[in-house]
A = this chain, B = another copy of it.
Amino acid sequence: MNIALLGFGTVGRGFYELLTERPLSLNICAVLARRPLEGLNCMVTSDFYKILNEADADIIVEAMGGLEPAHEYICAALRAKKHVVTANKQLMCAYYDELTALTRENGVSLRCTAAAGGGIPWLSSLARAASVDAIISVSGIMNGTSNYILDAMSRRSMDYAAALSDAQRLGYAEADPTADVCGLDTRRKLVLSTNIAYGVSISESDVPCFGIANITAEDMRFFEGNGLACRLIGHAERHFGTISAAVEPMLFGADAGEARVYECGNMMSLCAAHMGRQSFLGAGAGAYPTGSNVLADCRAIAEGCSAFYTDSFTRAQVDNSRAYQRYYIRKQGCAPVITAPLSVEQAHVMCRVEGFNGFMAAIAE
């Protein structure tokens, strides 16, 4: 099969190197790049429509990132009956309904396994489980940057600012770390996971999202003193047809698998009616893990994998009003409080009305 690669940044270049390194019956016929590239044995152009019309590609791999023009190009590719593989979670969340509808209408395949979990075959395994079993919940550590910071604060006793700056120095955090530390990146991966788990379509903006930037060294000492580990968690659950979903810091006992996920690791879990709980651990980011997962999606398409991960796309509202958890709440200058069970909205309102500038975390059951 012929592949056209859009974008030659970190993920695009990683993908190109992996594909040309091994004999895979997959061939790169064109690369879309802003600048000329030396030494590539295929069409290299900055004109996407030249690729679409002339390159005879079977699969379009989108590795540009961002919304436009990636969105325009993917839509055009699907309409031209090309299979599409992408790792672009922002795009997949923003245009989920449109992209999955175009995929169905044109009888092609759309895969985005690397969009949630980097190198981990999470979305493909989740879809496999959802195709035969009722998924009760999905949850996990879905952002390596925030996990690196929390781990450094815990095991190396750094404060938040020092841990963030360490992550930036090592290239694990962007200069603007907002999307990672405020939970937006986790929320996109959670939305994709929820949509595929339940055959629904939920909106990013409906999912409450809390980050880790307010955690202090004192919070960390309290957690450790109580045998608890703090992780940034995206979680969703379906209960009697109602879907609850949130992104928030969560506290785990020492025996929980999440407490043992260190540095940039990711750990996604599903709980299904018959299969029980399954967890998937690995590298959640990086050019080669992500590029490998993109390549595995291309291989799956070449081997006959068709369509999207699910064939159900019902619009669904997120409703957290009956999903209760206890919360750790520390207001500035006060001793921490462990609350009675609250919904995420109740916990948030309770903090906000009192001028909250401390930190709160759900407590895992």
Interchain CB contact under 8 A, A291 and B303: no
In the complex, chain B residues whose CB is within 8 Å of the CB of A128: 121, 124, 296, 299-300
Cβ of A18 within 8 Å of any chain B Cβ, yes or no, is yes
Q: Interface-forming stretch among A37-45, A196-204, A279-287?
A: A279-287
In the complex, chain B residues whose CB is within 8 Å of the CB of A279: 279-282
Name the 9 nearest CB pairs between A and B, nearest first: A304-B304, A278-B282, A274-B288, A279-B281, A119-B275, A132-B295, A276-B283, A121-B125, A275-B292
Please provide the chain A residues from 88 to 142 with a CB less than 8 Å away from any CB of chain B in the complex. 119-121, 124-125, 128-129, 131-133
Known contacts A121-B128, A132-B296, A296-B129; is-contact A275 B304 (Cβ 8 Å): no
Query: Of B260, B275, B280, B304, which contacts A280 at CB under 8 A?
Result: B280
CB distance from A34 to the nearest CB of B (A): 26
Interchain CB contact under 8 A, B282 and A277: yes
Cβ of A272 within 8 Å of any chain B Cβ, yes or no, is yes
- Expressed in whole angstroms, the Cα–Cα distance for A112 and B62 within the complex equals 33
Cβ of A183 within 8 Å of any chain B Cβ, yes or no, is no
Please provide the chain A residues from 234 to 281 with a CB less than 8 Å away from any CB of chain B in the complex. 255-257, 260, 262, 272, 274-281
CB distance from A16 to the nearest CB of B (A): 13
Cβ of A305 within 8 Å of any chain B Cβ, yes or no, is yes
CB distance from A304 to the nearest CB of B (A): 3
CB distance from A342 to the nearest CB of B (A): 29
Cβ of A22 within 8 Å of any chain B Cβ, yes or no, is yes
Cβ of A340 within 8 Å of any chain B Cβ, yes or no, is no
Interchain CB contact under 8 A, B120 and A278: yes
Cβ of A306 within 8 Å of any chain B Cβ, yes or no, is yes
Identical chains bound together, number: 2
Cβ of A24 within 8 Å of any chain B Cβ, yes or no, is yes
Cβ of A208 within 8 Å of any chain B Cβ, yes or no, is no
Assuming A128-B296, A276-B283, A277-B283, what are 10 further A-B pairs, CB within 8 angstroms?
A24-B131, A124-B128, A129-B292, A256-B260, A275-B283, A276-B282, A276-B286, A279-B279, A279-B281, A303-B304
Name the residue of chain B whose CB is nearest to the CB of A257: B260
Contact-size category for A: 35 or more
In the complex, chain B residues whose CB is within 8 Å of the CB of A255: 260, 262
- Expressed in whole angstroms, the Cα–Cα distance for A131 and B305 within the complex equals 14
Cβ of A12 within 8 Å of any chain B Cβ, yes or no, is no
> Could you pull out 13 A-B pairs where Cβ atoms are within 8 angstroms?
A121-B128, A124-B128, A132-B292, A274-B289, A274-B292, A275-B282, A276-B282, A276-B286, A276-B289, A277-B281, A280-B281, A281-B281, A303-B304
Known contacts A125-B125, A257-B260, A260-B260; is-contact A278 B280 (Cβ 8 Å): yes
Interchain CB contact under 8 A, A131 and B299: yes
Interchain CB contact under 8 A, B132 and A278: no
- Expressed in whole angstroms, the Cα–Cα distance for A317 and B188 within the complex equals 47
CB distance from A276 to the nearest CB of B (A): 4
CB distance from A128 to the nearest CB of B (A): 5
- Expressed in whole angstroms, the Cα–Cα distance for A281 and B125 within the complex equals 12
Known contacts A260-B255, A303-B305, A306-B304; is-contact A278 B119 (Cβ 8 Å): yes
In the complex, chain B residues whose CB is within 8 Å of the CB of A292: 129, 132-133, 272, 274-275
